[in-house]
Amino acid sequence: MATATHLTPTSALHANAAVASEAVYADTAVRVLSLAAIVWGVVGMLVGVIIASQLAWPELNFGIPWFSYGRLRPLHTNAVIFAFGGCALMATSFHVAQRTCQTRLFMPKLALFVAWGWQVVIVAAAISLPLGMTQGKEYAELEWPIDLLITVVWVAYAVVFFGTIARRKIRHIYVANWFFGAFILTIALLHIVNGAAVPASFTKSYSAYAGVQDAMVQWWYGHNAVGFFLTAGFLGMMYYYIPKQAGRPVYSYRLSIVHFWALIFTYMWAGPHHLHYTALPDWAQSVGMVFSLILLAPSWGGMINGIMTLQGAWHKLRDDAIIKFLIVSLSFYGMATFEGPMMSIKTVNALSHYTDWTIGHVHAGALGWVGLISMGTLYYIVPRM
């Protein structure tokens, strides 16, 4: 074969005892993180129901500060994004990297540190946020000591993931791993830049940025958190588990690569659409709007690629529950990535900003895309563990 120069012939995988120790994966961290994802999904969504109820019945804060909407809302967002979503991403990236590289996870004990270290971060968030410790930046509320722990855990995560890729037995890096890799690297960059703060005490720090500058950095971070944590990472998930469950290869592998590069490039510039008609300079708002509109194309490329993977296997949608979760999640992905660019248009944003429409849009993407793809994926993984 012309491609991989050190691909292990498939017949040798079965026969050779020396290969056996390399061919057997290390999935303990995957198990821990899959279970954690399920638990935090329930917790995070429960907090979501509580705060949603408080919007209708404010007395549900019971008059105590730890139960107030302002403190519980970031608990909800952090729990569903970083606890539920984060554990699902870590579990699946470890699961997928091993199987697509046909090699054991790099440093499985470090992977366990990542898994349990991340749980410590989550618990620290669950304690500190209701206590009112916050940096006041959306999806970056956690105070600086926890931010430091996140950095340590994230570096370890990158080491395990990229180490596994580096030790691959197949020369080609499967497209899902490109999405996971971009997610890991970009989140590291975003976390460090947006998290820059001056500590005043152990529980309080002040952002290194101020005013509209801080707003710009914050929403560069915030939109890329959505674009890389909630989109690129989960597209990585999608590109492995849909083909595996459908038993069909990705509809167009070429398209998957093209839309990957287009997506990661374009997402970086969409942040200003959170700041329309604010003090942010007009030209910056226009850049955000234009790139958000362009973003519709690579996003829908991913959606079409995933759904069309079922070509020749549409009948599986009738009876296979896992496929239903995975494909419906893509339809929500399509909806949210159409709605988003529309809402990025300044005239539309003048109507939608500061209304519940923004929350509605987030939940179409978060519950519809992220939630359903995670559920379908967990249904795939858990019986195999």
Partner 1 sequence: MESLFLLIPLSLVLVLGILVLFGWALQGGQFDDLEQEGERILNAEAPTLDVDQVEEAGGPEQFGVARKRACTDAIVPAGDPSWRQPPT
List residues near partner 1 by CB under 8 A: 2-3, 10-11, 13-17, 19-21, 23-28, 30-31, 99-100, 102, 170-175, 189, 193, 209, 212-214, 216-217, 220, 240, 243-244, 247-250, 253-254, 256-257, 261, 264-265, 268-269, 281, 284, 383-384
Instruction: Report which DSSP code applies to 16.
Output: -
102 Ramachandran zone, left/alpha/beta (phi>0; psi -120 to 50):
left
| Choice between 26 and 345, CB closer to partner 1 | 26
CA distance 87 to 34: 7
CB nearer partner 1, residue 67 or residue 209: 209
In the complex, least distance from residue 174 CB atom to partner 1, rounded to whole angstroms: 6
| 67 or 162: CB nearest partner 1 | 162
User: Nearest approach, Cβ of 149 to partner 1 (angstroms)?
Assistant: 24
Task: Provide, rounded to whole angstroms, the least separation between the CB of residue 133 and partner 1.
Answer: 25
Closest CA to 220 of 260, 197, 186, 182: 186
CB of 80 to partner 1, least distance (A): 28
Asked whether the beta carbons of 167 and 102 are under 8 A apart, the reply is no
For partner 1, the closer CB: 267 or 325: 267
- Provide, rounded to whole angstroms, the least separation between the CB of residue 249 and partner 1: 4
**Closest distance to partner 1 from the beta carbon of 279 (Å):** 10
Residue corresponding to tokens 């979501």: 48
Instruction: Return the number of the residue (49 or 385) whose C-beta is nearest partner 1.
Output: 385
Residue among 122, 97, 117 nearest 41 (CA): 122
**Count of C-beta atoms within a 10 Å radius of residue 310:** 21
Which amino acid, residue 187? I
Q: Which is nearer to partner 1, 162 or 338 (CB)?
A: 162
198 membership: H or E segment, kind and range: strand 197-201
Distance (Å, rounded) from C-alpha 13 to C-alpha 5?
16
> Is the Cβ of residue 53 or residue 311 nearer to partner 1 in the bound state?
311
C-alpha dist (Å) from residue 306 to 2, 8, 85, 314: 28, 29, 20, 12
CB of 363 to partner 1, least distance (A): 29
